[in-house]
Structure formats: structure tokens, C-alpha cells
Amino acid sequence: MFKLPNLAVAAAAIVLAGAVQAGPLGIGSTATPEMIAGWDIDIRPDGMGLPPGRGSVAEGEPLYEAKCASCHGLFGEGEGRWPILAGGEGTLDTLHPEKTVGSYWPYASTLWDYIHRAMPYPAPQSLTDDETYAISAYVLYLNDIVDDDFVADRESFAAVKMPNEPNFYIDNRPDVQNTRCMENCADPANFTIVTTINGVTPTGHFKEDSGVAANHYGDSEPAVKAVEVAMSDAATAGKSVYDKACQACHGMGVAGAPKVGDASAWVDRIQTGMASMSSNAINGYQGPNGVMPAKGGNMSLSDEEVSMA
Amino acid sequence: MTKLYEPSLPKLMEAIATEAKGMRGMDRRNFLKGGIAAVAGLSSVQMIPKANASANLPPNLPEWQSYLGRGVVAKPYGDPSEFEDLQRRTVPWLTADAASSISMTPLQDLEGIITPSGVVFERYHGGIPNVNPDQHRLIIHGLVERPLVLTMDDLRRFPSVSQIRFIECPANGGMEWRGAQMEALQFTHGMLSCCEWTGVKLSTLLEEVGVKPEGKWILAEGADAAGMSRSIPLEKALDDTIIAWGQNGEALRPEQGYPLRMLNPGWEGNTSVKWLRRLEIGDQPWHHREETSKYTDLMPDGRSRRFTYEQECNSVVTSPCPEKPLMQRGFVEIRGLAWSGRGKIKAVDVSLDGGVNWQRTELGELVIPKALTQFSLKTQWNGEPWLLQSRAIDETGYVQPTLKQLRDERGGWSIYHKNSIHTWNVTESGEVFNVQIT
């Protein structure tokens, strides 16, 4: 049977909230300043939301290399298909526009906000405010927007101007006007019929031939699947850690990270012994194939959780 | 007849595709033609496992009628027949990682205007969070008289509405800006779904918190790993935005934002923030990553449009389509879907000759603002090639544009908001190909 919560207590809470002055329906509780402070993470172009703290380009460099470069490249050039963060100036009106932080983004505040809320990709909201200042400064430096002696804090960061800011304008659609013509609306003599490029529609669905290199779609079978089959019961405890923090790099063989199930890449490493591998995973290291961030970039995992993954 | 072999059609197509894999050029064309022509004959064999197919056909007693079937609650939450093959599909080369990717709705296999919850297209920027609804909260704060924190139970106490509305990713069709690419309706138009959504109007919640006069914009933020955030103008919020917990008669699916999402009817899907945890009222927009780096439209002069919220009037023929070729000569009902982010669909026309001549179609019974609307044209096909197109007109009088009109204005690099008239080339074999007329 469904039991109602103690209504008397609920009613008391409403009376209290009522004292603060209730809305028309009197539903909900007051959001306290402490609750709001924990969640209110947004930054605006006018600097609203930027917290106290500081970080320099010089401090940002090692942080970026440890936590970001494995996906975005040492110079922001992007590894594999991971996003490019730098370059592309002067390309926006060409046939090959390259939209990056430097060439496209209108506001520097967006960079702070986004890195802090969503990066590093496998461990969002794990960076401190100082780290976010330092890494944001470094990404701006990679884009030649600040000099190498730049120190970011609330004031200096809010003052950064981005070169592409003037080139955005409010939606002005509808911008085209078709008419409802019913007869003889076009001259078929002028038609050029363009068909599809062979080989870009994914296979396993229905018809397709293999017009382009297999890696365009052949690698779609996620390596993670192989893990599910191959893993022992004892290892499944580590699976959820893996899914959360490690799979982003190890699931796809990104930036030199050995793929789970990619036997040849793991053999050498397994031979160095599980203990050393696991200490590498915990502390982070620069191997021959790339940078493995400490705990996969997710500082909130306990050491035991990492060893099980 | 048609009904009988439809269930196994996708499997056959797959078999044909596997066979055709190594072939190129004319070989491939011929094989596919032959393969598809053979579908009707093969399929009945495929459909009934083990037994001789004709054993179930009249005048015989079908096998499944000869013993008792499954009883009640054998499946407390049912699923589709095992003969169905309804699935979302993705284009793996588009993105680097499945947690920041997209999958498409199988429009070619759907009936009516409602998208079943299990095949609503997916778009995540940081995967699907596994939100416990008892521990989920919506905080509304900023330029308000009474900052509130609401539980799911609190939200359900508000007056509620249920509305059928489409959601479309503004990148729907975006792969086709510079040329025809995708040989499948699912991939050319499948970032589109339509459901019945239940929730509270955002305007009701805003009355409850009391927006201060300086309040002009709302930041909506998700509880996912991407912390998805978008700036929504107050006018939209007061007009028709809903904060939804229900979808097609049950709780939202995790893929669609369980337990709570924003829904901005008719606007680009990304603004309908999922796993909604926070609304902040401010006096100006935030210009976050998804409204600067992404979801802005680059024009040929190198400048960009921002806040391109509306999904303009669009339509597509869903049958025939590359996945649903014409199987028989004679009578055919051309079917399709039309939608507009600005309101109701007023009319849809169909052309068989690439837009030279047009015929009016009949709309489905349900014509709902900002929802998918069916259209149908009953005609004959006798093996002549078609350049099949549809053109929708909405209640504002806007006529769906041609691809050339869009390209002349916007070039080929804007990624988003490609709502041009689409062309299927129906060949004499009944096969259907995606083409563009330039």
C-alpha cells in the first residue's frame, strides 16, 4: 500500500516557506543561496560569474598537456576526429572554413564556461577555478590571442576581446522566398542531376558498397562490446569506472591509447606487470604513444576503483 | 499481399546488400535491381522459419492458430513483434565518440505522426546521465522574486498540459548541404521525431517565482556530463515552452531527458535542454558554447547568424524512399510528412517531374501546430522514372524553398537549417535514389 509522507511536517514546511512569501500556487521550497552557489556555474561575456582565482599561460601549458592534449593535440590541432581548438584564421569566407576558438568564437567567457562545465570530456567539472583560468589562458595563447606572459583572473579575462566577435548577427530568416507555382515551374533542359557519393551511407543497414576507406565506417563496431564479452565477473566491478572515465580514450584507440581488446598493443604493457600498469594509470604518465592523464582525468575516482577498471 | 512480406524486407535488403558489397559500378546496379526484383519471391520463404511457407497460407490452418498463445503479463512491459525491425541507426564517421553523437529515427518504417519513444532520434554531448528522480531538483533563480527548488513531486502538482510536438535537430539534412550523400531517408531526414509531451507550461513556473522587470533571458541547464546550456528569450518562455516529464503516455525516456526536460516547440532541438536541473533568469543572453561555436550558421561572406531558433517549414516523401522501393506497378499512394516550426501545415504539393509540375495532396486528419502532418497523393506508376518531390506551405504562407534558393542565399557551409525540397529519383526498376537537382 502506498503511504503518504507525514503531511503535518510537509504543511509546516509550507508555512515556513509562506513566511518568505509564497508564489500564487505556493508550490516548492525556497532555493537557498548555498544550493544556488553550488550549481550556478555559468559565465557571461560581461564577466558575470567569473570566480576569484588566477592562472597563467605558463601554468596552463603542463595542465593542458596532461589533461587535454591527448584528444585536442599538443597545439590544439586535434587528434584523429577529436575537435580542433586552434588555427583557421582567415578561412571563414573560403571554401574550407575552419571554425576554432581563435577563428570563430565570439567571446572568451564561453571558453572558461565550457572548459569548466564540460572538459576534460571524460571528467566534467573536475577542474579547479585556478586550473580553468590557466588552461583557458593557454588555449587563448595557442590561438595567438594573448601573449605568453598573460595571467588570467577575473578582470584580465573579462577584458579579452575575440577577433570574430563583430561577425555575428541575429537570425534574419525567412531569407528566401519560394512561390507556389503549379505548372511549368522549371525547365527540365536546365536540370543537372547530382547523385550521391558512393560509400558514405553506413552499411549493415541495407545496400552499400565500399567506396571509401574502411575506417570511414568500418570501425563503428564499438571496442567496448569486446570488453563486455571478454571480461571476467571479477572485472565487471571495474567496468562502470571504465565506462565513466576510461572508455572515451580506450574504447576507440584515440591518440595512441591502446584499445581494449587490441591484443598486440596490450601485450607489452601486460608484460611490465599489472602493478606498474596500474600505478601508471593512477599517477598519469607520458608514454611513447601519448599522455595518459592521471586517473583518466577524473580526480574523484578512488585508487581502488582505478585498479579494478 | 504486401503486408505479408513486409516484416522480413529489411533482412532481405541486408542480405542483398551483403552480396552486393564487393561489386562496383554496373555489376552492382544490375545485381541490386535483380535482387530487389527477387524480394517478393524470396521473402515469403524467409518470413516463416522452418516450416514450408505455404503451410500457413489459405486454405490451410496457420500454425499459430493451432495452439494457445502467450497469456497476460507474460511481458508486463511489451515490445514489438519479433518480425519487426525498427531501430535507430547512426552514421559512425560523423563523430569521434558515441557519447557525443547522433542517431536517427527510422522514418521509413513509421506509421502515422507519433514516433515511438524507443526510436526517437538521439543527440548527446556527454552521454545519457542516469538520473534518480527522487534526487533530482529543478532550481529557478536569478532575476526573480522567489528563487525556488522543485522536486519531481512538486512539479507534478502544477497545472499540466499534453501536446503533440515535433523535435528536430537543426543539423537534420546537414550532411547534404554540399551534395547528396546519404542513400537512405533515415539518414537524410531522421533527426526528427514527434511525440506527445506532458508537463507544465514554463509561464506557470515563472509566475510562481515572479520574474523581475529586468528579466529578459533564461539560461536552461542540463544535469548531463556536458552540462548542456542554452539561452532562451523570455518571450518564448511565456509563449509555449513546456517543462515536460511525460512522453507518449509514460515518463520521459532517459534518452529524452528523464526525469525532466525543456521543450521549445518548433525550435531547434538543442534548445530543448534535457535532464533539466536549472533555470536562471538574466537580463542578457549567455553566449555559451552551443550558441556560439555550434548552432550558429556560417554564411558565404564569413559572417554568422546566431540565435537561429526556428525550424522552418519542411517536408519529405517517406514512401517510396531508398529503403522502401516501389515493388509493384499500378496503384501507388505516395506518402510523406510535413512540419513547420512556425505553426500548422496549410498544404503540401507533390511533383513527379523534378518540380516542373505540381499536384495538391490530401493532408492527414490531425493537423496540429508544430507537429508532423501526413500528406498523401494517390496515383499510378507504370515503370516511368520519377523525380519525386514534396513542397510544404505553412500557415504563415511560407513556401518550402528549393535547394538552389537556399544555396544561393546561404552557400554550402552553414551546416544547420537545411529545409529545402528533397528529390528522390524513382528508377524504372522501382529503386529509389537520393539525388539533387541543381
Q: Assess contact for A162 and A105: CB atoms under 8 A.
A: yes
B307 touches chain A (CB under 8 A): yes
Task: Specify the fold of B314-435.
Answer: Immunoglobulin-like (2.60.40)
Please list the residues that pair with B268 across neighbouring strands.
B168
Instruction: Please tell me if the domain spanning B102-305 has the same topology as the one spanning B314-435.
Output: no
- Which is it for strands B276-282 and B138-142: parallel, antiparallel or unpaired? parallel
Average pLDDT over residues B162-191: 93
Identify the pLDDT of residue A153: 97
> Is the confidence at residue B200, as pLDDT, over 80?
yes
The candidate with the shortest Cα–Cα distance to A291, out of A76, A63, A91, is A63
Q: Which residue has the cell 543497414?
A: A205
Question: How does strand A168-170 pair with strand B304-306?
Answer: parallel
Does residue B403 belong to the interface with chain A, where contact is any CB pair within 8 Å?
no
Q: Which of A209, A222, A248 sits opposite B20 (nearest CB)?
A: A209
| Torsion A211-A212-A217-A223 (CA) sign | positive
Q: Give B392's pLDDT tier (boundaries 50, 70, 90).
A: very high
Of residues B169 and A283, more confidence is placed in B169
| Among chain B residues, CA nearest to A204 | B14
A40-167 with A233-308: one CATH topology?
A: yes
Tens digit of each residue's pLDDT (9 = 90 or more) over B16-37: 555 555 555 445 445 444 444 4
Greater model confidence, B7 or B424:
B424
Residue from A46, A113, A178, A300 whose CB has the most chain B CBs within 10 Å, to mutate: A178
Q: Name the fold adopted by A40-167.
A: Cytochrome Bc1 Complex; Chain D, domain 2 (1.10.760)
The three cell numbers locating residue A135: 588552461
Say if B233 is an interface residue toward chain A (CB within 8 Å).
no
Instruction: Please state the domain extents for chain A.
Output: 40-167, 188-229, 233-308
CATH topology classification for B102-305: Sulfite Oxidase; Chain A, domain 2 (3.90.420)
CA distances from A217 to A67, B18, B81, B94 (A): 28, 15, 30, 9
C-alpha distances in angstroms, B314 versus A11, B286, B350?
A: 51, 30, 13
**Minimal Cα–Cα distance from B273 to chain A, Å?**
15
Q: For residue B145, what is its C-alpha cell? A: 522574486
Question: In which element (H, E) is residue A276 found?
Answer: helix A274-283
Chain B residues inside the 8 Å CB shell of A177? 399, 401, 405
Percent of chain A with pLDDT over 70: 57
> Cα distance from B417 to chain A (closest Cα, Å)?
10
Mean per-residue pLDDT, B42-59: 63
Average pLDDT, chain A: 75
- Kindly indicate the confidence band of residue A139, based on its pLDDT and cuts at 50, 70 and 90: very high
B89, B99, B141: residue with CB nearest A36: B141
Q: Which of residues 114-173 of A touch B (CB under 8 A)?
A: 114, 117-118, 121, 124-125, 167-173
Does A89 contact chain B (CB < 8 Å)?
Answer: no
CA dihedral over A5, A9, A11, A14, signed as positive or negative: negative
Residue A278 has pLDDT above 80, yes or no: no
Rounded mean pLDDT of B168-185? 91
pLDDT, mean over chain B: 90
- Quick one: pLDDT at residue B91? 82
Q: Lowest-pLDDT range, A84-93, A182-191, A231-240, B204-213? A: A231-240
Cell numbers 520521459: residue: B252
Task: Measure the CA–CA gap between B262 and B273, rounded to whole angstroms.
Answer: 5
Q: Which three cell numbers stand for residue A298?
A: 577524473
The answer to whether the CB of B209 falls within 8 A of the CB of B145 is: yes
pLDDT band at B39 (very low <50, low <70, confident <90, very high): very low
Q: What is the pLDDT of residues B332-390, one digit of tens each?
A: 999 999 999 999 999 999 999 999 999 999 999 999 999 999 999 999 999 999 999 99
Question: What are the extents of the domains in chain B?
Answer: 9-65, 102-305, 314-435
Residue A249 pLDDT exceeds 70: no
- Say whether B100 and A121 touch across the interface (CB within 8 A): yes
Distance to chain A for B63, nearest Cα, Å: 30
pLDDT category of residue A213 using cuts at 50, 70 and 90: very low
Residues with Cβ within 8 Å of residue B421, at least 6 apart in sequence: B315, B355, B389, B390, B391, B400, B401, B402, B403
- Give the model's pLDDT for residue B19: 53
Q: Any CB–CB contact under 8 A between B29 and chain A?
A: no
Instruction: Return the CATH superfamily for domain A233-308.
Output: Cytochrome c-like domain (1.10.760.10)
Residue-wise DSSP of B5-33: HGGGHHHHHHHHHHHHTT--HHHHHHHHH
Q: How far apart are CA B269 and CA B214, in angstroms?
A: 27
**Which of the pair, A256 or B340, is modelled with greater confidence?**
B340
The model's confidence at residue A303, banded by pLDDT at 50, 70 and 90, is low
What integer is the mean pLDDT of A235-248?
53
Taking residues B5-16, report their average pLDDT: 46
Q: What is the pLDDT of residue B36?
A: 47
Please name the residue that has the C-alpha cell 524480394.
B39
Residue B147 in contact with partner chain A when CB distance is under 8 A: yes
Distance from CA of A16 to the nearest CA of B (A): 14
Half-sphere exposure of B383 (CA within 13 A, CB side): 2
Output the pLDDT for position A123: 92
Q: Which residue has the higher pLDDT, B94 or B390?
A: B390
Tell me the torsion sign for CA atoms A81, B270, B373, B310: negative
Q: Indicate if the pLDDT at residue A219 is higher than 90.
A: no
Each residue's pLDDT tens digit, B71-86: 999 999 999 999 999 9
E strands, B240-294, where? 242-247, 250-251, 261-263, 276-282
How far apart CA B59 and CA A90 sit, in angstroms, is 74
For the residues A215-227, what does the mean pLDDT come to?
28
- What's the confidence (pLDDT) of residue A80? 84
